[in-house]
Amino acid sequence: MTSPRDGADCHRSSRQSPVYAIIIPAYNEAQELPATLVAVRRAMATQGLPGECIVVDNHSSDDTSAVAKAGGADRVVYEPVNQIARARNAGVAASKAEFLIFVDADTRIEPPLLTKALHLLRGGLCVGGGAVVHFEGETSGVGRFALGLWKRISLLTRTAAGSFFFCRRDAFQAVGGFDLRLYAAEEVLLSRDLRKWGRTRGQTFVIITDPPVTTSARKLRWYSDAQIVGWIFFMALMPFAVFSRRLCRYWYERPQRKHGSSR
pTM of the model: 0.85
Cα–Cα distance measured from residue 38 to residue 51, given in angstroms and rounded to the nearest whole number: 15
Residue-wise burial string across 32-47, b where 16 or more C-beta atoms lie within 10 A, e elsewhere:
bbebbbbbbbbbbbeb
β partners of residue 20: 51, 99
Q: Give the 3-state secondary structure of residue 213.
A: strand
User: pLDDT, tens digit, for every residue of 96-148?
Assistant: 999 999 999 999 999 999 999 999 999 999 999 999 998 887 776 776 777 78
Cα–Cα distance measured from residue 149 to residue 155, given in angstroms and rounded to the nearest whole number: 10
Judge whether residue 25 has pLDDT over 80: yes
Cα–Cα distance measured from residue 25 to residue 55, given in angstroms and rounded to the nearest whole number: 6
Residue 89: count of CB within 10 angstroms of its CB: 22
Percent of the chain past pLDDT 90, that is, above it, reads 67
Judge whether residue 234 has pLDDT over 90: no
For 146, counting Cβ atoms within 10 Å of its Cβ (0-12 exposed, 13-18 middle, 19+ buried), the class is buried
pLDDT given for residue 96 in this prediction: 96
Mean pLDDT for 164-181 is 98
When pLDDT is cut at 50, 70 and 90, the band that residue 7 belongs to is: very low
Q: Which DSSP string corresponds to 142-180?
A: HHHHHHHHHHHHHHHHT---TTEEEEEHHHHHHHTSS-T
Q: Could you tell me the fold of the domain covering 4-252? A: Spore Coat Polysaccharide Biosynthesis Protein SpsA; Chain A (3.90.550)
Q: What is the DSSP letter of 241?
A: G
- Lowest model confidence (mean pLDDT) among 59-68, 82-91, 128-137, 168-177: 128-137
pLDDT given for residue 245 in this prediction: 80
Amino acid, res. 215: T
Cα–Cα distance measured from residue 250 to residue 17, given in angstroms and rounded to the nearest whole number: 38
Query: 55 CB contacts (<8 Å, ≥6 apart)?
Result: 24, 26, 33, 37, 64, 65, 68, 73, 75, 76, 77, 105
pLDDT given for residue 59 in this prediction: 94
For the chain, the domains span 4-252
Query: 11 CB contacts (<8 Å, ≥6 apart)?
Result: 72, 74
Mean pLDDT for 31-42 is 96
Cα–Cα nearest to 88, from 171, 154, 183:
183
Judge whether residue 21 has pLDDT over 90: yes
What are phi and psi for residue 206, nearest 5 degrees? -115, 135
Q: What is the gyration radius of the CA atoms in the chain, in angstroms?
A: 17
Percent of the chain past pLDDT 70, that is, above it, reads 81
Mean pLDDT for 22-31 is 96
- Lowest model confidence (mean pLDDT) among 35-44, 64-73, 137-146, 183-192: 137-146
